[in-house]
Structure 1
Amino acid sequence: MKIKPVLHIDCGSPVTPLNDLFGIFFEDLNHAADGGLYAELVQNRSFEFDPIDHPSYHALMAWEKVERGGQAELTVENEAPLNARNPHYAVLELKGPGSAGLMNTGFNSGISIRQGEKYRFSFYARREGGLEERVTVSLESAAGEVYAHARLTVGAVGWEKYETVLEAGETDFSGRLVILAEGQGRLYLDMVSLFPVNTYLGRENGLRADIAKLLADMKPRFMRFPGGCLVHDGSLNEEDRDSMYRWKNTLGDLAQRPARRNNWQYNQTLGLGYYEYFLFCEDIGAKPLPVLPAGYDPHHQAAVPLDELGPWIDDALDLIEFANGAADTKWGAVRASLGHPEPFGLEYLAIGNEEVGEAFFERYAYFHRAIRERYPEIQIINSSGPFAAGSEYDRGWKSARENGSDLVDEHYYQSPEWFLANMDRYDSFKADEPKIFLGEYATWGNTYYNALVEAAFMTRLERNAHAVGLACYAPMLCNVDYVNWKPDMIWFNNHQAFGTANYYVQKLFMNHQGDELLRVEAAGLGQPCKPEETPVTGGLALVADQSDVAFESISLTNDETGEVLDLGHSPVRLSNLPEAEAEGIAAALELGKTDWSAYTLRLKCRKLAGRRGFVIRFGITDADNFLYWEVGGWQNQDSIIGARVNGRGSCLTQNMFTLELAKDYELVLEVRGRRIRSFINGLPDHQTEDRLPNVEPLYFTASREQGTGDVIVKAVNVQEQPLSARVMLEGLGVTPTAVRIYELAGYALTDENSFAEPERIVPKERGFDIQANGFDYEFPGHSVTVFRIKP
């Protein structure tokens, strides 16, 4: 007789607090700030765009000259700037009767204008010569139809700020901002700005309301900012145009904030700065979690000398004072002068992002000691690199244990299959060690299947709250016309924004997190669905990776029989450098296939030219399914064993390694079933296993919310067939009265939300009354279900 599955929820004995488990992460990539969350509608408002931001950029990018019955020259100068930190400004030289001026094309298709909405316009200006004092500002269509206009009198020969409010008479998502003047003479312009009056909560210099609301509706417990690789990539000199992100540059008067190269290859105005981040966190009830650099740039391997770390450490200490200090402290007074005399209540501070190399961890110790000594209440977050395993991951955890870090920031972007195979990742982590901060993770996609797998993984994060302190999906925002990275949680253009299926999973878990983890015991659920443990067999190939490499003495040994195959004893050259095609040099070499379950590939190689190294592919099924050993990857600093499943990659393990020019290397790759080892010049490189998915019949977790007393049960059915089970509430003390159900179900695994169907995938809500401590439920196939049970 088959036993009906049962989930026994012990409501009387909480296991551990959930604290601030689920939050969000903001990084300014994909134009997430300028042209995105930051509501400024003018692109290149201070004429500071430069080729250092992107090779195609120039000072008049997004600006065009307009001549309407008059003639003018439009140039950019820097001899008499509004301020020294943003030295460039536009010069409009009018040469006769009629009007002329300049026009801004905004972001995406143009400036988003909505009928009846008001827009706050401002600029700094001065004039000279016989120029008429009146300047006309208008919102127009691309064809010149005027939707709103105002006249300003520019009477100053020195820089002054001028402002007005425009009300749009039509809706146009491809609008333009036009500034016209008449007569002869010169008009100087800087910091030309246009904001919707209707920003989030009506704040000036505020945030785009629709995007901000999507984030607020999630009810995140924390927000990590401002990055990401944004934090630590750049010059060590804070005054340089391409400096690392330095938080003090982001405060105060917008006109004084220095334009900065964003390391995702665009311009960053810093209009959305640290004060605005703290305000937004406060507005949405999320705890701020800032990330600061540690004086080390792993992208360019540039490090501040240890005896010059003082100002960088002071930046960290000053930030804590800015956030938490009384209004009579130095930096607390700065906060108060900006309009917020009360402290922000900072609890977390991260040092570094995805750090690799001893140089960072050597410097981290100095930061940690200084912060711990002065602010012992601050929870300090260390880094463990951008991969889920390997030497740098281990180095990060070693540093965290030695220094007594409160949390360790882990990042990984992997295939859904990797997540399904590693649901037990944190089961063995200990409660008395630094906690995990899963600061960036995603499953390489925005389909319903991606979201479903992430939901299952989140149940295991919650069940392991003894070891997992914080977690946030990444990246958060993406402007569809400026994509640096995908997948992303929220997509937008200049007038629409929608949450992906991943967004709605995150929102469900944040809206219904609970405060205390409850123990759940399952009975009768059945066995996991696990594929046959097949060995890694299939094709083998060598592939150049932005390089020119010579290979020789390639052999494959059957380690069970001793048979040896000579796959190429004579030297062969592979290259994918630009000149290689003209020389007739191939970029890849197929080495054949093997069905051996235990084998060793040996080869010799020499790098001749190029920025990176090469890849050994093995276990090739087709172009989208194989394993690989990447040697000299990511700026020629990595050795990686990875897997590609259905076109989506996963790094199984990573080490630091640089492939030197004109040096001979002997490489050995051992495959035993699904276990993999690699060696370089006789020294161990990697040891890992390509685990196959092990899909449980049901993923589940339960918690209790202290304020309401509600018991919250989350269940994820990744399998296709529905599962009927009984949910039993034990030790509740009272009989529950009602259940609210929030559920994602009934979607194809390939379904996605889009601009055309922004709510194709959204949770459905319903409820029912109960008069007992248990109820039966059929969990649909491919579903995410949340029960909120009211006592």
Structure 2
Amino acid sequence: MSEQAAITVYARERGAELGDLFGIFFEDLNHAADGGLYAELVQNRSFEFDPIDHPDYDALTAWEKVERGGGKASLTIGETDPVNARNRHYAVIEIETEGGGVGLMNRGFNTGIPVKQGESYAFSVYARRDGSVGEPVRVTLEGADGQVYGQAVLHVGSSEWAKYEAVITADATDYGGRLAIVTKGSGRLCLDLVSLFPVRTFRGRSNGLREDIASLIADLKPKFMRFPGGCLVHDGSLDADDRDSMYRWKNTIGPLEERPARRNNWRYNQTLGLGYYEYFLFCEDIGAKPIPILPAGYDPHHKRIVPLDELQPWIDDALDLIEFARGDASTEWGGIRAKLGHPEPFGLEYIGIGNEEVGEPFFERYAYFHRAIKAKYPDIKVINSSGPFAAGGEYERGWASARENGSDLVDEHYYQSPEWFLANYDRYDRFKADESKVFLGEYASWGNTYYNALAEAAFMTGLEKNAHAVGLACYAPMLCNVDYINWKPDMIWFNNREAFGTANYYVQQLFMHHQGDHLLKIEASGLRKPAARPPAPIAGALSLGTELGTVQYWDIRLVNDDTGETLHFEGLNETLTDSREDRERGSAKRSLGLGRTDWERYTLHLKAKKHSGPRGFYIHFGQSDEHNHFTWEFGGWQNQDSVVVSKVSGRGSCLTQSLLTVETGTEYELALSVSGRSIRTYVNGELINETEDRLPVIEPLYYTASADRSTGDVIVKVVNVQDENVCADVVVAGSPASLAAAEVFELSGHGLDEENDFESPKRIAPKRRELRMSDNRIAYEFPKHSVTIFRVKETGAGR
């Protein structure tokens, strides 16, 4: 008789503290702030859009001239005597013929300004006029057809700038609305910082957040929030006053008219209306600890570097930020915070220096920040960086820096295929408790399907069970406006009127709601392990390629490393070209096929030279089709890396990376060596990359257990990735009390390709039920493709 399968939790055998393990990451990409979480409804409110933000932008982007009833006017941009020198542009309406009124209109974001019947909107503007002083200025919310849904009348009574405000209540619903500002008379009407907010924002805050998006975030119950990015933190010039400067937190606080517009490196404009003060407020409102990320005076994208003898102001920015968050009102920056409306400190336990940096210049500068912060605030946990890759040279450099400096945490980032997450769920099993802890600051599998969420849930059990080594983790990116997509997948999707959480969102929510405070010992018995096949070698087609340039390949041979058999591609000397001109002419030749091999161990030798273009060489191998293959990219993105990438069902995983640049006109000897699932690359005889492509070995169940200190509940998380149901008893051993019942929260019953969407925002969402226990045991059938969480409640025990 076979043993009854069981998952046994030992309620009195405690493991590592879970601390602040699961949280969130906010980055302003996909119009996550302006046009998203930040509730401002007017796009380009200060007329500061510029081609430096995006080639299609100008100061009147999202605005248009209004001429009604025979009225005529010119609409231009003024710069003389602005409201504030940091935002020098404003709109000038020169009235030529008043007619039925002239002015300007804003189209908002997405389909327009969302207007809801019965809702009120707070309008404000800075205005001045010369001529017809006192002539009414009519502000209307209206439809594309001109139907007026609500209005206010202002009287601009001076040739000096003044702020005017009104509240407009809508009498109809239209998600494609417009904001129009129209006047009559003569002379000029000047307008700046034209703003429209719903009166009902999250927690009712002025300059506040969109209620539905903020509520979805709050409903996660995150332990922390990392902000404001992301690559936007360090991608920019070194001058804080430049339009395209790095993200400098001091530019983001204070009156809105004093916050300079900023080029967002995701190719749009940041008003910075959602700034550091608002970030801290939001963290406070949702009970999340703030984790700000600051630049270290090094832009790895463009190699801009602050000299070491000029680094002190950047270090001071970090120290001042800590004082802004923690200092009382008697301190300089605590006093500034108090004047902004928050006398009490926000509190700050963590600070990050750098975002997925690569290159020695960052790590050299990081040490200065670390020492200065620890000298003044020894209790602050300082976070180092290990780049945007899961392994390789820069990853190891980041960890070496952390060990050398005693960093509290190391920020790891990676976006990989679901298969990679399943194959690497035990990634942190071998990490040590007495070293720097992992901050998994950005991670996601490629997609928002139920399968993606399921693979991530299995991986998250590995994060939790290794809480001795993993301190913090947050899925990324969090937000995406469907009409302004820079990057996907994303956890929450929205348009201008509604938002929904993906399947990934609900997995994150389950793990955050049921994290617990410390691990409990858990073990399984009697589970039948799925049959595993021996890992197949990397076999398939080979080819050479190029992207956005011209490269040459020659002297090519393929060697069987077991038998010595050699395939010579004699006389093959091929130039591949993929310039924009080639594409336009239809003459691009991007790849050269070399046939296929089924050898288990082989080495491809070749010579290569780049003649032109921003990138280098692409060697594809183990290819079964265009969606499933491996690539060695030498001089790929920004021509600064040598990476090995695995692609499964079109979803890529960077297996390893090293810094390396391809020089134009230089001849290289390249070698790619494959042995089973192991891969090595060589440039001019030097080993550059070494990695192994691990295949998923599906566990019968993925599981972890923890205890909730406040409730006394025992929490058990179980993920079934298999294509079949699994029956097992859930047993709580060692409890001095009888266990009467368990709350069960479960995601199950969904096709692997299913997704949530605007039509069915909760198609994939957890269901709750209660189960009775018998002898501290529940017999349970875990559905195939499911995430199940038990909260086991004690009765009869003192708490």
Aligned AA for 2:212? D
Q: Cα distance, 1:585 vs. partner?
A: 4.7
Q: Cα distance, 1:131 vs. partner?
A: 5.5
Partners of 2:148 and 2:647 in 1: CA distance: 53
1:661-703 superposed Cα distances (whole Å, 9 cap, x missing partner): 1001000011111111110001111111111111101000111
Residue 582 of structure 2: SS of its match in structure 1?
A: helix
Q: Cα distance, 1:639 vs. partner?
A: 0.3
What is the aligned partner in structure 2 of residue 84 from structure 1?
Answer: 85
Asked whether the equivalents of residues 554 and 569 of structure 1 are also in contact (C-alpha less than 8 Å), the reply is no
What is the aligned partner in structure 2 of residue 289 from structure 1?
Answer: 291
Aligned AA for 1:89? Y
Query: Is structure 2 residue 94 aligned with structure 1 residue 93?
Result: yes
What is the aligned partner in structure 2 of residue 679 from structure 1?
Answer: 682
Asked whether the equivalents of residues 133 and 156 of structure 2 are also in contact (C-alpha less than 8 Å), the reply is no
Q: Cα distance, 1:526 vs. partner?
A: 2.1
Partners of 1:518 and 1:548 in 2: CA distance: 58
Q: Cα distance, 1:737 vs. partner?
A: 2.4
Partners of 1:528 and 1:54 in 2: CA distance: 52
Gap change, CA 1:643 and 1:161, over 3 Å in 2 = same
TM-score, normalised by the number of residues in structure 2: 0.98
Asked whether the equivalents of residues 529 and 694 of structure 1 are also in contact (C-alpha less than 8 Å), the reply is no
What is the aligned partner in structure 1 of residue 797 from structure 2?
Answer: none
Partners of 1:130 and 1:583 in 2: CA distance: 61
Partners of 2:188 and 2:59 in 1: CA distance: 18
What is the aligned partner in structure 1 of residue 8 from structure 2?
Answer: 8
Query: Is structure 2 residue 561 aligned with structure 1 residue 559?
Result: yes
Q: Cα distance, 1:546 vs. partner?
A: 1.8
Asked whether the equivalents of residues 349 and 379 of structure 1 are also in contact (C-alpha less than 8 Å), the reply is yes
In the TM superposition, 1:138-149 aligns within 5 A as: 138-149=140-151
- Long gaps (5+) in structure 1: none
What is the aligned partner in structure 2 of residue 37 from structure 1?
Answer: 37
What is the aligned partner in structure 2 of residue 339 from structure 1?
Answer: 341
Partners of 2:254 and 2:85 in 1: CA distance: 15
What is the aligned partner in structure 2 of residue 710 from structure 1?
Answer: 713
What is the aligned partner in structure 2 of residue 615 from structure 1?
Answer: 618
Partners of 1:776 and 1:569 in 2: CA distance: 69
Asked whether the equivalents of residues 131 and 182 of structure 1 are also in contact (C-alpha less than 8 Å), the reply is no
Aligned AA for 2:558? L
Q: Cα distance, 1:520 vs. partner?
A: 0.1
Partners of 1:332 and 1:111 in 2: CA distance: 37
Q: Cα distance, 1:71 vs. partner?
A: 1.1
Residue 341 of structure 2: SS of its match in structure 1?
A: coil
What is the aligned partner in structure 2 of residue 275 from structure 1?
Answer: 277
Q: Cα distance, 1:530 vs. partner?
A: 3.2
| More displaced 10-residue stretch of structure 1: 573-582 or 315-324 | 573-582
In the TM superposition, 1:722-733 aligns within 5 A as: 722-733=725-736
Partners of 1:705 and 1:435 in 2: CA distance: 22
**Which 4+ stretches in 1 moved above 4 angstroms?**
none
What is the aligned partner in structure 1 of residue 74 from structure 2?
Answer: 73
Residue 103 of structure 2: SS of its match in structure 1?
A: strand
Partners of 2:780 and 2:572 in 1: CA distance: 66
Aligned AA for 2:625? D
Partners of 1:530 and 1:752 in 2: CA distance: 29
Which of 396, 399, 403 is 1:397 aligned to? 399
Asked whether the equivalents of residues 579 and 588 of structure 2 are also in contact (C-alpha less than 8 Å), the reply is no
Aligned AA for 1:413? Y
TM-score, normalised by the number of residues in structure 1: 0.99
| More displaced 10-residue stretch of structure 1: 764-773 or 358-367 | 764-773
Partners of 2:37 and 2:56 in 1: CA distance: 24
Which of 151, 173, 176 is 2:175 aligned to? 173
In the TM superposition, 1:492-511 aligns within 5 A as: 492-511=494-513
What is the aligned partner in structure 2 of residue 108 from structure 1?
Answer: 110
Which of 639, 642, 657 is 1:654 aligned to? 657
Which of 696, 721, 737 is 1:693 aligned to? 696
Which of 592, 595, 599 is 2:595 aligned to? 592
In the TM superposition, 1:407-422 aligns within 5 A as: 407-422=409-424
Root mean square deviation of aligned Cα: 0.9
Partners of 1:624 and 1:326 in 2: CA distance: 57
Partners of 1:117 and 1:733 in 2: CA distance: 55
Partners of 1:528 and 1:497 in 2: CA distance: 39
Partners of 2:541 and 2:574 in 1: CA distance: 19
Partners of 2:350 and 2:513 in 1: CA distance: 22
In the TM superposition, 1:746-761 aligns within 5 A as: 746-761=749-764
Which of 149, 162, 165 is 1:163 aligned to? 165
What is the aligned partner in structure 1 of residue 48 from structure 2?
Answer: 48
Aligned AA for 2:480? C
Aligned AA for 2:411? D
Partners of 1:12 and 1:685 in 2: CA distance: 49
Query: Is structure 2 residue 172 aligned with structure 1 residue 153?
Result: no
What is the aligned partner in structure 1 of residue 123 from structure 2?
Answer: 121
Q: Cα distance, 1:531 vs. partner?
A: 3.6
Partners of 1:772 and 1:527 in 2: CA distance: 27
1:46-93 superposed Cα distances (whole Å, 9 cap, x missing partner): 000000000000000000001112111111010111110000000001
Q: Cα distance, 1:14 vs. partner?
A: 1.1
Partners of 2:732 and 2:481 in 1: CA distance: 45
Partners of 2:322 and 2:374 in 1: CA distance: 12
Asked whether the equivalents of residues 639 and 655 of structure 1 are also in contact (C-alpha less than 8 Å), the reply is yes
1:256-285 superposed Cα distances (whole Å, 9 cap, x missing partner): 100000000000000000000000000000
Aligned AA for 2:598? D
Asked whether the equivalents of residues 105 and 177 of structure 1 are also in contact (C-alpha less than 8 Å), the reply is yes
Partners of 1:321 and 1:603 in 2: CA distance: 57
Query: Is structure 2 residue 789 aligned with structure 1 residue 786?
Result: yes
Residue 61 of structure 1: SS of its match in structure 2?
A: coil
Q: Cα distance, 1:354 vs. partner?
A: 0.6
Gap change, CA 1:568 and 1:625, over 3 Å in 2 = farther
Asked whether the equivalents of residues 605 and 664 of structure 1 are also in contact (C-alpha less than 8 Å), the reply is yes
Gap change, CA 1:585 and 1:159, over 3 Å in 2 = closer
Residue 186 of structure 2: SS of its match in structure 1?
A: strand
Identity of aligned residues (%): 65
What is the aligned partner in structure 1 of residue 453 from structure 2?
Answer: 451
Partners of 2:662 and 2:576 in 1: CA distance: 15
Partners of 1:569 and 1:65 in 2: CA distance: 66
| More displaced 10-residue stretch of structure 1: 738-747 or 126-135 | 126-135
Q: Cα distance, 1:320 vs. partner?
A: 0.3
What is the aligned partner in structure 2 of residue 527 from structure 1?
Answer: 529
Residue 11 of structure 1: SS of its match in structure 2?
A: strand
Partners of 2:773 and 2:530 in 1: CA distance: 31
Asked whether the equivalents of residues 529 and 697 of structure 1 are also in contact (C-alpha less than 8 Å), the reply is no
Residue 737 of structure 1: SS of its match in structure 2?
A: strand
1:316-371 superposed Cα distances (whole Å, 9 cap, x missing partner): 00000000011100000011001111111100000000110000000000000000
Aligned AA for 2:74? E
What is the aligned partner in structure 1 of residue 18 from structure 2?
Answer: 18
What is the aligned partner in structure 2 of residue 211 from structure 1?
Answer: 213
Partners of 2:396 and 2:531 in 1: CA distance: 31
Asked whether the equivalents of residues 295 and 304 of structure 1 are also in contact (C-alpha less than 8 Å), the reply is yes
Partners of 2:577 and 2:444 in 1: CA distance: 33
Asked whether the equivalents of residues 132 and 184 of structure 1 are also in contact (C-alpha less than 8 Å), the reply is no
Aligned AA for 2:628? N
Partners of 2:226 and 2:364 in 1: CA distance: 24
Partners of 1:177 and 1:633 in 2: CA distance: 45
Gap change, CA 1:551 and 1:583, over 3 Å in 2 = farther
Which of 315, 326, 329 is 2:328 aligned to? 326
- Long gaps (5+) in structure 2: 795-799
Q: Cα distance, 1:529 vs. partner?
A: 4.6
Query: Is structure 2 residue 201 aligned with structure 1 residue 202?
Result: no
Residue 741 of structure 1: SS of its match in structure 2?
A: strand
